[in-house]
Chain A
Amino acid sequence: SEPLPLTPESLSVSINSAKQCLHLQWTVHNLDYHQELKMVFEIQISRFKASDVIWTGNYSTTVTQNQVLHWSWESELPLECAIHFVRMRTMVDDARIPVPRFWSNWSSWKKADAQNSLGDHPLYVFPKDKLVEEGSDVTICYISRNHQDNISCYLEDVLTFGKQLDQSVWAFELKNISFLRKTGTNFYCQGQGVPEGVVLFVSKVLEEPKNFSCETRDLKTLTCTWDPGDDTGLIQLPSYTLFESFSRKKTLCKHRNRCDWQVTQDSQEMYNFTLVAENYFRKRSVSILFNLIHGVHPVAPYNLFPKNVSATNATMTWKVHSIGNNSALLCQLQLLGEGKVIQQHNISIRVNGEYLLSELEPDTEYMARVRCAYADHFWKWSELISQNFTTAEAAPSEAPDVW
């Protein structure tokens, strides 16, 4: 016997006004139990009247018996401004089924009416509180219950002209919308009464983070920093998440330009970091490979003091914050006289630093300054610290002339 025609059944349409989306859900009857078929669905969407088809498209998928299928359609026009109608038909699109293949009958039209929740206000403007990205196009519409009303609409304070879609519905297509202020761009219409309007929250385009780099100051915490670029201008800031692919761990960053990552005892030396910036519209990501040992930027040494200062010598002592298991640090000690570096010494230390500066001039003011770097792999000097000192006066060369 002829196989029963496969038809889309139990089509239902739900409305998401905020996202301006129609959500379709349906099943396909007459499929055999074990059967899995590739099928194509032709979907038609009409506006105001079923006969006014405004969109047609195909959706292909593999279907099994009693499987509930889903599909969404985003309307450029706010759904509150028009009744929409949806229908579909289907055809097998599976190589295992011989040609010719025929379209099923159309399903009946399903109505999506977002207007039934509106009150009896004389004038409505939609969409309410829409989030849009700078540079995009936005369609705004109004519904006027009072057809004699002479209504003017404005984008901020610029008179704007629209297109009549239906007896009581007008639409305004705003092209290439730009960011104005954090509190939103005002679009409003004035009829007889108080102006009615909407606020468009325009977000600047989320930028890709720049200058993404990481370093550690103590081999315990890694700090990654980046330039987030312009603030997107929305009260709700983008999120920044740091992923590490070797350990498969991630952390949500508390700041928009830096993020800390804990280095655990068993943790690796090589890191493959991906920083993902995300807002309502976009995701931007940048990645770097980072070797922990190659990114050590020691904290500045401290307690730099002169000890045993004589007329021509001075012993400088200083302390450093330990890194790892007292890893070696290369410290550079400089001696400045009258603002010029007159001596420079590189000293490798682990905990405390000490160095004898010699060949000094008596009774002379000097400055000593020191900075350190990670000896195993030089990457960055720490910040400098300095200390002034004055050499003692020279002892008299001959005995005093006492008579």
Chain B
Amino acid sequence: ATGKCSGKYHELLLQLQRQADLMQNPSTLLDPYIHLQGLHSPILKGSCMERLGDFPSEDVLWRLSRQDFLWTLNTTLGLFLRMLSALQQDLPKAAQQQAEMNIRGLGNNIHCMAQLLRGSSDPEAAEPTRPGPGPTPPPPSLPMLPLDTFKRKLRICEFLQGYHRFMRRAGQVLRGWGERQGRNRRHSPLRGLQRA
């Protein structure tokens, strides 16, 4: 991460939320990929679902402390960045480069927020957004891509779908931070579920 950090929590949190919202939008990466690979028919689009295990689940994210959440977000996106460069031949160039820039931009703000939280005396910083022992999830592994081109096309589609869904989940958790800070009440798990 590079560049100067803003010391204002709300400003940083708002920026993180906006970036997550941008990156959860399939038009930034998945849709251009689907168009490039010709997967736009209802059947093929319909089979392009996120595969469990590609990205940390919602439940896991809610249970992490903020530091662990930031670490998981950063680690997951770092792996995704590596995958993006491995998929250069398969992805539309412009969309791939834009996604990389988005991820690097988010990475900078994650670094600043983590730094801010480390310096903060706020007890909640160490607490999970959702009560209960939050396991630090193992970093997701990169999917093995099939040799057969048709299967490869679909598998990459699932993976990109997962990326956007993961960013949506991350955005929801970040909004959970914002609401909690505002009401200064312990975050009730049901609230987390209602938003899912």
A residues near B (Cβ < 8 Å) are 125, 128-129, 154, 156-157, 180-181, 183-186, 188, 190, 194-199, 235
Asked if A186 and B36 make an inter-chain contact with CB atoms under 8 angstroms apart, the answer reads: no
| In the complex, per-residue mask of B142-157: 1 if CB is within 8 Å of any chain A CB, else 0 | 0000001110011000
Known: A157-B40, A157-B43. 4 other contacts (CB 8 A): A154-B43, A156-B41, A180-B38, A197-B150
Contacts of B150 in A (CB 8 A): 125, 128, 186, 188, 196-199
Is B44's CB within 8 Å of the partner chain A? Answer: yes
Given contact pairs A129-B149, A184-B149, A194 touches B37 in the complex (Cβ within 8 A): no
Asked if A195 and B38 make an inter-chain contact with CB atoms under 8 angstroms apart, the answer reads: no
Contacts of B47 in A (CB 8 A): 194-195
With A and B bound together, what is the CA distance between A129 and B43 in angstroms?
20
Is B39's CB within 8 Å of the partner chain A? Answer: yes
Q: Which residue in chain A gives the minimum CB-CB distance to B41?
A: A157
Asked if A183 and B154 make an inter-chain contact with CB atoms under 8 angstroms apart, the answer reads: no
Is B3's CB within 8 Å of the partner chain A? Answer: no
Given contact pairs A128-B149, A129-B148, A198-B150, A188 touches B38 in the complex (Cβ within 8 A): no
With A and B bound together, what is the CA distance between A190 and B43 in angstroms?
8
Is B42's CB within 8 Å of the partner chain A? Answer: yes
Is B89's CB within 8 Å of the partner chain A? Answer: yes
Interface centre among A125, A157, A183 (most CB of B within 10 A): A183
Whole-angstrom distance between the Cβ of A112 and the nearest chain B Cβ: 22
Given contact pairs A195-B47, A198-B150, A199-B150, A183 touches B40 in the complex (Cβ within 8 A): no
Complex interface residues of chain B between 37 and 59 (CB less than 8 A to chain A): 37-44, 47
Interface centre among A156, A180, A186 (most CB of B within 10 A): A186
Contacts of A181 in B (CB 8 A): 36, 38
Contacts of A184 in B (CB 8 A): 37-38, 149
Contacts of A128 in B (CB 8 A): 148-150
With A and B bound together, what is the CA distance between A195 and B39 in angstroms?
12
| In the complex, per-residue mask of B113-131: 1 if CB is within 8 Å of any chain A CB, else 0 | 0000000000000000000
Contacts of A194 in B (CB 8 A): 47, 154
Asked if B41 and A154 make an inter-chain contact with CB atoms under 8 angstroms apart, the answer reads: yes
Contacts of B90 in A (CB 8 A): 183
With A and B bound together, what is the CA distance between A180 and B148 in angstroms?
19
Q: Which residue in chain A gives the minimum CB-CB distance to B89?
A: A235
Given contact pairs A129-B148, A129-B149, A199-B149, A186 touches B39 in the complex (Cβ within 8 A): yes
Q: Which residue in chain A gives the minimum CB-CB distance to B90?
A: A183
Interface centre among B37, B39, B43, B153 (most CB of A within 10 A): B43
Q: Which residue in chain B gives the minimum CB-CB distance to A198?
A: B150
Given contact pairs A199-B150, A235-B89, A186 touches B38 in the complex (Cβ within 8 A): yes
Interface pairs (30), CB distance under 8 Å: A129-B148, A129-B149, A154-B41, A156-B38, A156-B41, A157-B40, A157-B43, A180-B38, A181-B36, A181-B38, A183-B38, A183-B90, A183-B153, A186-B37, A186-B44, A186-B150, A186-B153, A188-B43, A188-B44, A188-B150, A194-B154, A195-B43, A195-B47, A195-B154, A196-B150, A198-B148, A198-B149, A199-B149, A199-B150, A199-B153
Whole-angstrom distance between the Cβ of B156 and the nearest chain A Cβ: 11
Q: Which residue in chain B gives the minimum CB-CB distance to A152?
A: B43
Contacts of A183 in B (CB 8 A): 36-38, 90, 153
Cross-chain contact of B44 among A185, A195, A235 (Cβ < 8 A):
A195
With A and B bound together, what is the CA distance between A186 and B154 in angstroms?
11
| In the complex, per-residue mask of B88-108: 1 if CB is within 8 Å of any chain A CB, else 0 | 011000000000000000000
Whole-angstrom distance between the Cβ of A78 and the nearest chain B Cβ: 13
Contacts of B43 in A (CB 8 A): 154, 157, 188, 190, 195
Contacts of A154 in B (CB 8 A): 41, 43
Interface centre among A157, A184, A190 (most CB of B within 10 A): A157
Q: Which residue in chain A gives the minimum CB-CB distance to B37?
A: A183
Complex interface residues of chain B between 153 and 171 (CB less than 8 A to chain A): 153-154
With A and B bound together, what is the CA distance between A154 and B153 in angstroms?
16
With A and B bound together, what is the CA distance between A129 and B148 in angstroms?
7
Q: Which residue in chain A gives the minimum CB-CB distance to B36?
A: A183
Q: Which residue in chain B gives the minimum CB-CB distance to A199?
A: B149
Contacts of B36 in A (CB 8 A): 181, 183
Q: Which residue in chain B gives the minimum CB-CB distance to A158?
A: B41
Q: Which residue in chain B gives the minimum CB-CB distance to A183?
A: B37
With A and B bound together, what is the CA distance between A157 and B148 in angstroms?
20
With A and B bound together, what is the CA distance between A194 and B155 in angstroms?
11
Contacts of B149 in A (CB 8 A): 128-129, 184, 198-199
Contacts of A156 in B (CB 8 A): 38, 41
Whole-angstrom distance between the Cβ of B87 and the nearest chain A Cβ: 12
With A and B bound together, what is the CA distance between A251 and B41 in angstroms?
46
With A and B bound together, what is the CA distance between A188 and B44 in angstroms?
9
Contacts of A196 in B (CB 8 A): 150
Interface centre among B39, B47, B149, B153 (most CB of A within 10 A): B149
